[in-house]
Amino acid sequence: MFEAIHGSAPRMVKEGRDIYADPCSVIRAGAMLLNHIGYHEQAEKLYKALDICTVEEKKLVMTGRDTGATGAEFADYIMETMERL
């Protein structure tokens, strides 16, 4: 089973902050799934993009509020980073 371990953030939804939910754990779960089903290169690329976006470059920051990036903006950042790899 591959899932985000942080939960569904129902409080964020109730407070209207759902667009600011951090997608990293569900994306990492997707990378684990890719690796498990044999797409090792794609999984490594996704892991590397996550590392770049969350540790190395960190051009966008997830705060869970309107002071940070939205989940969609962060997902786009990860996709753009993967295209550069």
Report how far residue 59's alpha carbon sits from residue 64's, in angstroms, rounded to the nearest whole number. 16
Assigned token pair, 4: 């985000």
The model's pTM: 0.87
39-62 pLDDT tens trace: 999 999 999 999 999 999 999 999
Tell me the torsion sign for CA atoms 68, 18, 70, 51.
positive
The rounded distance, in Å, linking the Cα atoms of 58 and 60 is 5
> Residue 14 and residue 43: Cα distance in Å, rounded?
33
**Other beta carbons less than 10 A from residue 58's beta carbon:** 10
Q: What is residue 46's predicted lDDT score, i.e. its pLDDT?
A: 97
Q: Can you give the residue ranges of every domain in the chain? A: 23-84
